[in-house]
Every structure is written in C-alpha cells, then in structure tokens.
Amino acid sequence: MIMVVSCSAAQVGKGDQLNNHKAILQLSEYAAHDEPGIQYIMVDKRSTIFSHSVGLSNVESNIALTSSQTMAAFSMTKTLTAIAALQLVERNKINLDDKVADYVAHPYDPDVTIQHLLNHTSGIPNPIPLKWVHLARNHAGFDEKTALEQILSENSSLDFQPGEKYKYSNIGYWLLGSVIEKVSGQRFTEYISQHILQPLSLSSDEIDFIIYNEKNHAKGYLKYWSLMGLFGRFFVDTEVLGEDEKGWLHIKNVYLNGPSFGGVIGTAGAFSKILQDLLSEDSRLLGEKTKQLLYQRQTLNSGAEIDMTLGWHIGELDGITYYYKEGGGAGFHCEMRIYPKNGIASVIMSNKTSFNSRKILSELDINFVEK
C-alpha cells in the first residue's frame, strides 16, 4: 500500500529542503502506513514552514490521516484557559492575587489564588482523571456543575499549603474555568470561542469543544497488546472501549467532564494559528505586557524557581529555551511548543495514546530550530 501524506511546496518552501526531507523520513518511521497517524506542523509568525501528516485516521477502513482532520487535544487546552484568564486580568476584571473563593465556592484553603491555579502551586490534588469523561453521544444530557461538585467533594483536602510546592492539578484548571465563567458571564466554551477562536478566524470544523464533523475526526486508538490495552478496562469505564481493529483498540469518542482542563478538539494547524498570534507583535489575543506574563517563570513562597509559567511548562532543546503544553488521554496524545526567541512554534498530534510526543517533537523540531 502507498502511504498518503499531505505536504505541499507552498507549505515547505520556507524551510531548508534537506531538513524538510529529513523530517518527512522521520515521520514515516514514527508512524507506519498501517497504524494510527501523526500531524506535525512548524510555523513562524506569518507562515507555515513545514506541514506533514502520516499514518491512518481510521485503521479498520484504511483511511489516511490528513492535516484537516481533528483530534482530541486534552491538556493542550490548559494554555487556552490560561490565555483566557490573562485576558480578564488585562481587562481589569480579575487580578492574579485574587482569592478563588471570591468567585467560586470550593473546599480548599481560602488563600488559594488565581495565580496558584495558573501555575499549579495551589496544593489542590490531582487524582487520576481517566474516568472524568462521558461519551460524546451523551453530551446533551451531561451536567458539568454536578460533576465538578462531586470531584471537589471526593478530593477536598490540599496536598500542601498554597505556594509551597509545584504539583500539576487538573482540578485546579477545572476551577479556573469556573472563575472565567463567573467573571465573564458566559459559559467557558462560549468565552473561548468568542475571545480566542473567532478573533483568529478559526472555524468549528478546525477547532471546537465538540466534534463538529464526525467524518472529519480521526478515530483514537490504544495498542491492544500493551499494558494499558490489557489492563486499561480496570481503570476506565468499559463503555468507552470499542473494537479491536487490526491490533489497535478503538476508543469511542468522548468529551472530558471539565472542558477547561482538557476539552478542546482540533487540528495541529488550528493550534499553530494560536501560536502564530502569540509570536506576533500585534497579537489579537493579548497585549504585549500581558503576553509576557504567559512566559514569566514562576516561583514558590520560598523564592525557588519552578519550570512553569502562567500557562506553559518550560523546556530546553539543545540549549534553546522553549515553552510547551502536552496533552494525552483516551486515544490521543499531542504537544505544542513555542520558541519565542527563535520566532517559531510547532504542534504534533497523534491518534494513539502511547505516542511519545516529547521525544519525537524534539527530534523533529531540531531540524528547524536555529542554534
């Protein structure tokens, strides 16, 4: 069978042709022609440097993955949530040191602030969220408020006092979504659409909180003969598990119970447009001073620095600092990065749970990052 890829001359014209060819060969090694696929894109603030897709969006029907097909982004959503919160800071609707309890009720220390939620230093626990999903077909009857109240009730004690340590928390970003709703007077998903997606002319078939076009949405997979494939049914609701497709366990379409910690569904290209805006001097999302908050390294109460900003994790590739957000869950794994000093950004998305985004994105990005 011939592998189908999407890669046009216009898309790769700005990159060094040797590096482009190397990246294409690498992608072909990362996703075989008969397994779930990968979307990869590298951009600068004005154009696409490189874009390529390999593998399959539907293993059973042998349908190639293209750049236009959507996938679940899971925790990559958190950076959009952070942008939304900083927009409200910029508009003097909230302050970073405001107490979360001033906006929404919660069982934790009243000194937990919005900044604590943004940089994951609140002390709010992070239980494994594998069951915090519901089938897409049941979404119309889903009650998010009740779901959040239940999670808060079941996980009502802090792991440490606010600001003492760094510890990732999905619940923290779920609460942050509630703050955004309270302050804006809009549902979280509506706020993101109106204030982040629409200003960038991103359509619902490119990025949204629902699967806008099921025919244009990649199927998510888990390797059947893997630890998660064999034992995953003990940790997730079996109703989300589909059929074995040539050694790949199909995961049915699900939505996360808390859209603000992981609910966005989109293409790598759609996320790249958000990153392009952040690279631009004339961002439509954030003013220049507020945008710098998005990259400001955070500190603990002790003054010790952490590898976290107000919405990004901080990494390094061959001595070059970048900011990233990874996302993974039922059937998908992805990561986006921005290299502000180099003026470039990248996104990789795959429709297989076990995809090693950190390693593979580094191996691809190094072809385009100027040392």
Q: Are 263 and 77 in contact (CB under 8 A)?
A: yes
Nearest to 240 by CA among 314, 308, 329, 108: 329
- 292-347 residue pLDDT tens: 999 999 999 999 999 999 999 999 999 999 999 999 998 999 999 999 999 999 99
For 3, which DSSP code?
P
What lies within 8 Å, CB to CB, of 185 at 6+ separation is none
Q: 237 or 55: whose pLDDT is higher?
A: 55
**pLDDT range class, residue 370, cuts 50, 70, 90:** confident
How far is it, in rounded angstroms, from Cα 210 to Cα 158? 32
Q: Are 272 and 344 in contact (CB under 8 A)?
A: no
**DSSP E strand boundaries for the chain:** 38-44, 48-54, 56-58, 63-64, 71-72, 133-135, 207-208, 220-223, 241-245, 248-251, 254-256, 265-266, 313-317, 320-329, 332-339, 344-350
**pLDDT range class, residue 6, cuts 50, 70, 90:** very low
The pair of structure tokens assigned to 117 is 């939620």
Nearest to 240 by CA among 230, 255, 227: 255
Give, in degrees to the nearest 5, the angle at Cα 362 between 356 and 363: 90
Can you list the domains of the chain with their CATH numbers? 70-353 (3.40.710.10)
Q: How far is CA 360 from CA 27, 40, 144, 306, 367, in A?
A: 9, 10, 35, 24, 12
**pLDDT range class, residue 229, cuts 50, 70, 90:** low
How far is it, in rounded angstroms, from Cα 149 to Cα 126? 15
Residue 64: what are its φ and ψ, rounded to 5°?
A: -70, 145
